[in-house]
Every structure is written in C-alpha cells, then in structure tokens.
Amino acid sequence: MRRGLSSQRLIAVFMTSAMLFNYPIISLFDGSEPVFGMPPIFLYLFAIWAVLIGLVALIVERTPK
Amino acid sequence: MIPAWLVVAVSFAYLLVLFAVAHYADRQADRGRSVISNPWTYTLSMAVYCTAWTYFGSVGRAASGGLWFLPIYLGPTLAMMLAWMVTLKMIRIAKTYRITTIADFIASRYGKSHLLGGLVTVIVVVGIIPYIALQLKAISIGFAVLTRTSAEHFEPVQMGSWLQDSTLYVALALALFTVLFGARHLDASERHEGMVAAIAFESVVKLLAFLAVGAFVTYGIYDGFGDIFSRAYANPELRNLLSFETVSSSGYGGWFALILLAMLSVIFLPRQFQVTVVENVNEQHLKRAIWLFPAYLLLINIFVLPIALGGLLHFGRGGVDPDTFVLSLPLSHGQEALALLVFVGGLSAATGMVIVETIAVSTMICNDLVMPVVLRSKRFSGELRPDLTGLLLAIRRGAILIVVLLGYLYFRLAGEAYALVSIGLISFAAVAQFAPVMLGGMYWRGGTRPGALAGLMAGFVVWAYTLMLPSFAKSGWLDPGFLEQGAFGIAFLKPEQLFGLVGLDNISHALFWSLTANVAFYVGISLMRVPTGQEASQATLFVDVFKRDKGAAATLWRGRAHVDDLMQLVSRFLGNARARQLFGRYARERGVGTIGEMPGDAGLVQFVETQLAGAIGSASARVMVASVVQEEPLGLDEVMNILDEASQVRAYSRELEEKSRALETATSELREANEQLKELDRLKDDIMSSVTHELRTPLTSIRALSEMMFDDPEISIDDRQRFLGIIVSETNRLTRLVNQVLDLAKIEAGHAEWHNTDIDMSELVQHAIDATVQLFRDRQATVELFLPDEAPHLLADRDRLHQVLLNLLSNAAKFVPKEGGAVTVTLRNEGDEIRVDVKDNGPGIAAEFMPYVFEKFRQGGDQKDRPQGTGLGLPISRQIVEHFGGRMWVESTPGQGAQFSFALPANVGT
C-alpha cells in the first residue's frame, strides 16, 4: 500500500484536514451565538475530527495486506 | 478529605498492579505468546503521548483559553495520516539497522558520528528532564489536593522534608520498575514486552478515569453538554471562552504553529519514538493505529471543555487551580471514591510518561554519552576487561536512576516556577529541532554530518535563547531585565521579539526562529561540500531502505576479518552465551555448518555491527568493529561506484528477468503455433487422402466400364447404354467433387465472389424445395413447409444460399427412412435473425459423431449404406452461412432424427 492508492488517499485526507483545522476555514465557525445550545466552533472541530478519523479508518481498513 | 495513608496505599497498590502486568507480559513473551503483538496494544502504548500535562493541564488550559488545548491533539491526528509514509520508513530503518533511539538514528544517518549522537542526547536531556519533573509535580499536587482539608482553598504545594515526600518514593518505585522491565538484561533488539503491556494498561486506566470524571461533571453535576454551555453563555466572563479569537492573543497563526508543533512532537518525542518505532512488533500494526490513536485522543478530549467550564461555574475564577478541577470537583461533591479513581488515572498518565521517557533517555545517555567515553579510555578498551556486559547493564541502570532523580530534583527546586509550569510546550519545541535532520535524513541524500551538527546546534541555541532562558527569567532565576531590554541591553536581541519580530506568541515566535535557523544551517552547511563515502553510504541505506535488501549494507564494506575476533567482540558486550546463539543462527542462515567455518566477509562484519549497534549504539559499534578488523575506508567515488554497480546489476537482472519472461511467452506461443501447424498438416494429409479416395472410386468404375467396352465389342447395346449412363453420372460426380473442392478452397482463402441481391427468403426456401421435390418423391418422403406470415428479406448471395438449402434438403432426403420419411422445413423471423430449420426423422446422429458433422469428408452412416455424397456439402454450407455473419448448427437425438439449422442476421449485407 506504500505507493498505492491508499497512500495517495491518506495524503489527500491529510491536506484536506490541514485546511479544515486552520484559518480561514475555522474562522467561519467562530460565532458568538450557540448552535444547538453549543458553541459552533466546539461542534465544528469535534464533528470534523470524528468524520476525518472515520474516513481514515475506512481507507486503511479496506486495504488488503 | 481522604486520609493520606489511604492515598499512599492506593498509589502503591496501583504500582504493584503495574509490576504484575509487566511481569505477566514478560512471562508470556518468554513462552512465545506475546500479549503486545496486536494493533490495539500498540495503539494504547502510543497513548503515552497523553501525560499528566494532558490529564490535568488540558482542563487548566481550557479554563483560560477555551478550545486552545485542542491543537496539541489535532496535530497528532494530522501526523498519523502521514504515518504510513513517514513513520513506516522510520520503523523499517530502525529495524534493519537495529537503531534504538532518536540520537542513534541521527548519529547513524550522518556517518555514525559520536558527536552528533551526543548533541542530540544533550538536547533531549535539557528538554525532557523538566518534563519528567512536571509529571512528578502532578502526582505531588494530586496527592495534596486529595489529602487537604478543604477543597475550596487553593494552597501551594507544601514542600515537606524530602524523606516524607511520597512523590520521592513514587519516583524511586518508577526507577525500580524501569530498571526491572527496561534494563533487566541486554538485548540487541531493545524491545520490552512487559513495559509496553504496562503502558497500554495505563492508557486504558487514564482514559476510563478521565471519561468517568467527565461524565460525572457533565451529567452528574450538570445536566449534559447543553446545560453547561447555556450556563456558560449566560456568564459574561465565561462567554468569551466559547468563541475562538476572543480568548487568545496568539491568533490563527499561533493555532497553526501549535498544530505543527504537536505534529512534529508526536513523531520525534523520545518516548513516542520508543513505543512507535522501537517497540513495534509488526509493521502492519501501524495501519490500525493510524486511525485508532486519533480516536483515543478524541475520546480523552471530549469532556475537557465541559469540565473546565463546570469547574469555573462551581468555584469561580481564582479560587481553585483549574489544573486540579478533575480532582476538586468530585471532592467538593462528596465523591471521594471517584476522586481517588481520578487520581489513579493521573498517576497512570504521569508514571507511563516517566517510565517510557526514562528508558529512551537513559538508553541515549548510555549509548551516546557514556559509552563513547568508556570505550575511549584505556581501562576498558583493552584486553583487561574481556566482559563488558556487567558494566553496560550498570551504566543503563545508573542512567535510569539518574534521569528519574534529576527529574525529581528539578521538581523540588523549581516548584511553582514558571519554567516548570510551562515546560510542556517548551519541551515540544525542543524535540521539534530533530525534525529537519530526521526528515532530511530519510528523504534527502545530500545532508552531511557538519550540516546536521550545525542545524541542530543552531536550532537548539535559538530555542534556548527564545524559550528556555525567558522561562528562567520569568521564574526569577535570571535578571528579568534580560526579557525587557534584550541581551546586553540590545533591543534587537529581545528574546521574545528577536530581530524586532512582534505579533507572535512566544511559542510560535521561538518555533519560527529556531526552525528557520535549524533548516538554514542544516541545508546551507550540507551544501558546502559533497558527502564523504561514509555519509553517502549511510544516506543511501536510509533513503532507499524500501528499495534495497538487507544485504545492501554489506556491499559497502571492504576489508578482512577473523570470525574469532568478531565473536569475542560480541561476547564482550552481549555475553558469551548470547554471542554463540547469534553466531550459530547466522551460520545456519548462511548455510554454513559450524561457526568456525564462516568466512570473515563483509556480510558477517555487517551482521556483527548491527547486533552491537542494538546494544551500544551505531557509532560505538562502528568504532569497536573497526578495532578488530582490517578495513579499507571507501571514498565517495568508490561508494558511488558500488551503488551504481549495484543498481546496474539490479537493472540488468530485472532486464534479464523480463527478457526470460518474454522468451518463455514466445516459446509457448511458438509451441502452440507449431501444434496448430502440425494439426493443419495432418488435416491436409487427411484431405488429400480423402480427396484422392473420393476421386478414385468414380475413376475406378469409369475405367472398369470403359475397359470392358473397349475390350469386348460384343457387348449388347443395352449394356453399353447402361454402362455409358453410369460413366456419365460418375463423371458428373467427379466434376461436382472437383468443383466443390475448388469452391471450398476459394471460400476458405477468401477469394470467392459474392453477388449480393435482395432475397425474399420465403420464395427462396420454396424454390429450393421445388428443386428437390424429385429426390423426396424417390425416397417416398413428405416435405412440410412452415413459412412466416410476413416474408423476411435480406441482402445476400442468392445462389450461395440456395446451395446451402439444397445441401440441407438433399442431406435430409438421404437420411430419411425408406418408408414414412418426413421432413419439416421451418422459416422463422426472430427479430434480428432469420432462422431456417430442416428436420428429418432419420436415424439421427450418434453423440460421438456430433463434433465432426461439419468437418470435411466426414459422412454420416456406416460405410455400407453410406449415401452418395462428397462429404463437402456441410462444410461449404457452414462457410457460406458464416460468411454472412450467421451460424449453423445441428441438434439430434439418436433414433429420432436430426435438425440442421442456420440463422442469419436480418440486417446482413446492409
């Protein structure tokens, strides 16, 4: 899998994550009003985090040895 | 309040459990049943990343900075996404060359340099020992919080007498644990099953404890996340914590810097290197850890903000140190058992870090600081001390004890000082200095030893100047004026605004300048000269670790050695028994009967050096091996030649392989073609003999009859007439045969002429039946015709199709029984196909004859009642049908007749 499709997918997810976790994207969610009773940035960061972990799990667990 | 004796008893009971877990895992490993050889344990051992600084400190950070504790965990999540590229390479390199520490990794890459290994070790000691102190301090604070009378009043830690300080005993217990499970015996692989099992166990404990207190605060004290957040929103002071920009002056740049810092730390922290790279059992385990480790981090962080807000809502700001919220919140609600559990969780976070970090740092101190000195001194290097295993173990154990005690000492001396409290990120920034030389070393061949030295040195100096010294100044150990006015009163050199750079927080500022200086010097100095032979060979071994096999290193050594000398050398460091075992195994691998018969060649020398590198570090191993063998140092050109040669040889062998594979394919193709040719030749012979046979029969009768008439003029006119009739019919048959052979040859060769016209199939079938009606009448057979309502038309050669139909009909006529023969002809329009069936009620075709029906000169029936025919009708018919894109086949049940069918595509010829 080293040079295979999974590696490229992981790199793509890495780049996406690096963007999603940084300025300017996170500034979009930095509101002062609650969403569903919670701070929007808190919701955003944890939700995106969980989704990305799921995505990575999908990529590596589906690759045969 | 919980009685002090109970806290102490629980703490030491927990440590005993740790010993038991480690002991059990070691026992199982000795029996060959590893408990750590699975991705789950591997991932849990990686969670040693979460120290007491996470456990207590995250809540503290969240209480002052809202979500600003999070980059420390987002960074590792990002880094793990690249682990399958970066970390896997580190694991492969470390395993191939028996590298056991970061210092050894760097020293080995840049030409096995003692100096470089020493420098890395110094950076680690300076950056990490305070971090160990911070863990001990966390235990001490936890102890104080649990045992003091009132949770409402924050009191600084009471420093009692050293001997009464339970933290000292915890530290000593940890040193004992580390000695027992980290340095019990010498092993070239330096893997510690028991220790890893204990660390994984600790990771479970701290996660469960933290989730327990999180759930208690969120759902026990308050009414879930929504409740806590809505209360925080109602509080004007806490409201600020919930948005991003309002709480920190660092801005988004600072956020990015923290993520980057954490990314580098999770790869280059000595303890992470230890559990991720050195203790890795199977590379495949890394695959699951890529997502499982981030998932662990997510879980342990989900309650951090709620706990911080809950604590602030409950205690107010300034009352209780937010770092202790996880303990003081349960305590103030009377949940003493929970508080004790949380303390055990904190204890596990702290002890896990101390144990792994101590093993890593003490190995570095032993291999990269002490051993070089020891091996240089005459007392140890000569024959006076043949066995150094005891000394080596003593150094290891001494280093462990010293590291732990230094940590404890720093904690006692620094106490509440800023330098200790803020060490978490400062120490991260110190190990980030390894990133350029490590990553550069794995992916760039050009890095040299002076470059690596200069880069590390520059990064370290800038780090010390911009982070460590300011933290000393803030602790009151240095003149604070240094911070305000800069060194020597030069404003330009203000350590936190170096060269006038303002607008960054101190961590981002230090990270920027130190990494800039580091990379600049590393690359700049490296580019000043070409690498030496030694550097170039190591560079190739590291950069191309996936491309070259294990033997690659051996090709880069030239010289002579004696097996006995090498054996003696290994015995000195690993013990006699172990050395025998290693050499024996190596001899078996090489297919040599006894150790003495082994040649003292490059492969053996490489093997010995690798084994020694595991025990004493690669630089020392190099020096020791060099002392017992005669070797020729290789220059850069020679190394390059060898590598070129090796790659040329590889390229040649690949080419050869490809060629032989191509040859094999060609051979089998040729064989197939040959078979086909032989078959065709056989067929040709068959046809020749069939044709001659078919020709001879009529010729014989023509000749016989003609001779009879020639010889005997007396023959009656009637006989003569009859004979001539036979001769005419036989001649016709001959003509037909010759025509058909020619016809078939033409069709097969593609020279036949086709005259396509629009054909009404109904009319054609009718016409064919009319033409053969006499045949059927002779055989007294009936012909039934079924035509579709609408006459199908197609574009084809009318005469050829007529020929096909005549063939089938005459065939049917031949085979119908003498009495009651019935032939059915059906024309069907099947949409895209026009199909004709000719069915008779003859004897049918035997199953074994079915495959040959359409072959030339194969005629149905036995020789005796073989009907008249050339044996070419069906093959020709089939050729014609196939020419128009159709197909012809036969179905038959023996005894019930046969049905010949052909189908033509309706749009044929258009």
* pLDDT averaged per 10 residues, chain B (length 910): 82 89 87 85 92 88 86 93 91 88 91 89 90 87 78 51 73 84 70 88 93 92 88 83 70 87 92 91 89 94 91 83 87 87 91 90 88 77 67 87 89 76 85 93 90 93 89 81 72 76 82 93 91 83 77 70 80 81 82 73 81 81 79 73 72 84 92 90 79 80 86 84 86 83 78 82 86 83 84 83 86 82 86 86 80 72 51 82 87 84 72
pLDDT for the residue numbered B681:
87
- Write out the H or E segment, with its range, that includes residue B250: none
Q: Which residue in chain A is spatially nearest to B301 when comparing CA positions?
A: A46
Residues B77, A53: C-beta atoms closer than 8 Å: yes
Residue in A24, A42, A49 nearest the CB of B77: A49
Q: Is the peptide bond before A24 cis (omega within 30 degrees of 0)?
A: yes
Residues B243, A39: C-beta atoms closer than 8 Å: yes
B351 and B170 Cβ atoms separated by less than 8 Å:
yes
Q: Which amino acid is at B705?
A: L
A52 pLDDT above the threshold of 90? yes
Q: How many CB pairs under 8 A join A and B?
A: 110
Contacts of A61 in chain B (CB under 8 A): 287-288, 291
B586 and B607 Cβ atoms separated by less than 8 Å:
yes
Residue B689, classified by CB atoms within 10 Å of its CB into exposed (0-12), middle (13-18) or buried (19+), is exposed
B195 and B18 Cβ atoms separated by less than 8 Å:
no
B835 and B808 Cβ atoms separated by less than 8 Å:
no
Residue B125's contacts (CB-CB under 8 Å, 6 or more residues apart) are B361, B364, B365
The residues with which B834 forms a beta bridge, in sequence order, are B829, B904
Contact A27/B at CB under 8 A:
yes
Residues A23, B78: C-beta atoms closer than 8 Å: no
How far are the Cα atoms of A21, B304, B756 from residue B909, in angstroms, in the given order?
A: 67, 80, 8
Residues A53, B239: C-beta atoms closer than 8 Å: no
Residue B49's contacts (CB-CB under 8 Å, 6 or more residues apart) are B76, B266, B269, B271, B272, B293, B297
B106 min Cα distance to partner chain A (Å): 24
Q: Which residue in chain A is spatially nearest to B305 when comparing CA positions?
A: A42
Residue in A38, A61, A65 nearest the CB of B226: A38
Q: Encoding tokens for residue B769?
A: 């039946």
Contacts of A8 in chain B (CB under 8 A): none
Residues A7, B84: C-beta atoms closer than 8 Å: yes
Contact A19/B at CB under 8 A:
no
Contacts of A5 in chain B (CB under 8 A): none
Q: Encoding tokens for residue B668?
A: 């089998």
Contacts of B546 in chain A (CB under 8 A): 2
Residue B93's contacts (CB-CB under 8 Å, 6 or more residues apart) are B99, B105, B442, B541, B542, B545
The count of residues in chain A is 65
A43 min Cα distance to partner chain B (Å): 11
Contacts of A45 in chain B (CB under 8 A): 67, 70, 74
B849 min Cα distance to partner chain A (Å): 51
Spatial separation of the C-alpha atoms in residues A21 and B294, rounded to whole Å = 14
B65 min Cα distance to partner chain A (Å): 13
A1 pLDDT above the threshold of 50? no
Spatial separation of the C-alpha atoms in residues B816 and B866, rounded to whole Å = 13
Q: Which amino acid is at B680?
A: L
Phi, psi of B738 (to 5 degrees): -60, -40
pLDDT for the residue numbered B895:
80
Transcribe B851-908 into DSSP letters: GGTTSTT--SS-STTPPS--S-HHHHHHHHHHHTT-EEEEEE-TTS-EEEEEEEETTT
Residue in B242, B291, B298 nearest the CB of A39: B242
A34 min Cα distance to partner chain B (Å): 8
Residues A26, B70: C-beta atoms closer than 8 Å: no
Spatial separation of the C-alpha atoms in residues B637 and B843, rounded to whole Å = 88
Residue in A30, A45, A53 nearest the CB of B243: A30
Work out whether strand B833-839 and strand B756-760 pair parallel, antiparallel, or are unpaired. unpaired
Domains in chain B (CATH in brackets) are 4-382+396-432 (1.20.1730), 437-548 (no CATH), 554-634 (no CATH), 638-745 (1.10.287.130), 754-905 (3.30.565.10)
Residues A10, B252: C-beta atoms closer than 8 Å: no
Spatial separation of the C-alpha atoms in residues B373 and B249, rounded to whole Å = 48
Q: Encoding tokens for residue B51?
A: 């120290």
Mean pLDDT of all residues belonging to chain B: 83
Residue in A22, A53, A63 nearest the CB of B291: A53
pLDDT for the residue numbered B494:
76
Contact A42/B at CB under 8 A:
yes
Residues B67, A42: C-beta atoms closer than 8 Å: yes
Residue that is written with structure tokens 């001390």 in the block: B385
Residues A61, B230: C-beta atoms closer than 8 Å: no
Contacts of A6 in chain B (CB under 8 A): 84
Most B-contacting residue of A56, A59, A63 (CB-CB within 10 A), to test interface: A56
pLDDT for the residue numbered B459:
94
pLDDT for the residue numbered B192:
84
Q: Which amino acid is at B631?
A: E
B230 min Cα distance to partner chain A (Å): 6
pLDDT for the residue numbered B243:
77
Contacts of A53 in chain B (CB under 8 A): 77, 291, 294-295, 298
Contact A38/B at CB under 8 A:
yes
A60 min Cα distance to partner chain B (Å): 6
Spatial separation of the C-alpha atoms in residues B293 and B47, rounded to whole Å = 7
Q: What is the DSSP letter of B827?
A: E
Q: Which residues of chain B are at the A interface, by a Cβ-Cβ cutoff of 8 Å?
A: 67, 70, 74, 77-78, 80-82, 84-85, 88, 225-226, 229-230, 233, 239, 242-245, 252-253, 255-256, 259, 284, 287-288, 290-292, 294-295, 298, 302, 305, 546
Residues B225, A52: C-beta atoms closer than 8 Å: no
Residues B597, B598, B600, CA angle at the centre, nearest 5°?
125
Residues A34, B239: C-beta atoms closer than 8 Å: no
Spatial separation of the C-alpha atoms in residues B616 and B386, rounded to whole Å = 16
Residue-range definition of the domain harbouring residue A53? 5-62
Residue in B225, B291, B305 nearest the CB of A56: B291
Contact A10/B at CB under 8 A:
yes
Residues A34, B245: C-beta atoms closer than 8 Å: no
Question: Computed from CA positions of residues B427, B428, B434, B436, in that sequence, does the dihedral angle turn out positive or negative?
Answer: negative
B642 min Cα distance to partner chain A (Å): 27
How far are the Cα atoms of B117, B581, B859 from residue B98, in angstroms, in the given order?
A: 15, 17, 79
pLDDT for the residue numbered B863:
42
Residues A49, B305: C-beta atoms closer than 8 Å: no
Most B-contacting residue of A25, A38, A55 (CB-CB within 10 A), to test interface: A38
Spatial separation of the C-alpha atoms in residues B807 and B775, rounded to whole Å = 12
Residue B443's contacts (CB-CB under 8 Å, 6 or more residues apart) are B543
A52 min Cα distance to partner chain B (Å): 9
pLDDT: which is higher, A33 or B80: B80
H-state helical runs in B712-835: 717-749, 761-779, 798-815
The closest alpha carbon to B570, from B530, B601, B612, belongs to B612
A33-40, long-range: CB < 8 A, 24+ apart: A34/B229, A34/B230, A34/B233, A34/B242, A36/B226, A37/B225, A37/B226, A37/B229, A37/B230, A38/B225, A38/B226, A38/B229, A39/B229, A39/B242, A39/B243
Phi, psi of B191 (to 5 degrees): -105, 145
Question: What is the ipTM for the molecules in this complex?
Answer: 0.94
Q: Encoding tokens for residue B408?
A: 């404890």
Contact A20/B at CB under 8 A:
no
Question: Total structural domains in chain A?
Answer: 1
Angle between helices B423-431 and B449-463 (to 10 degrees): 160
Question: Computed from CA positions of residues B809, B815, B820, B822, in that sequence, does the dihedral angle turn out positive or negative?
Answer: negative
Quickly count helices (H) and strands (E) in chain A: 2, 0
For B90, other C-beta atoms within 10 Å of its C-beta total: 25
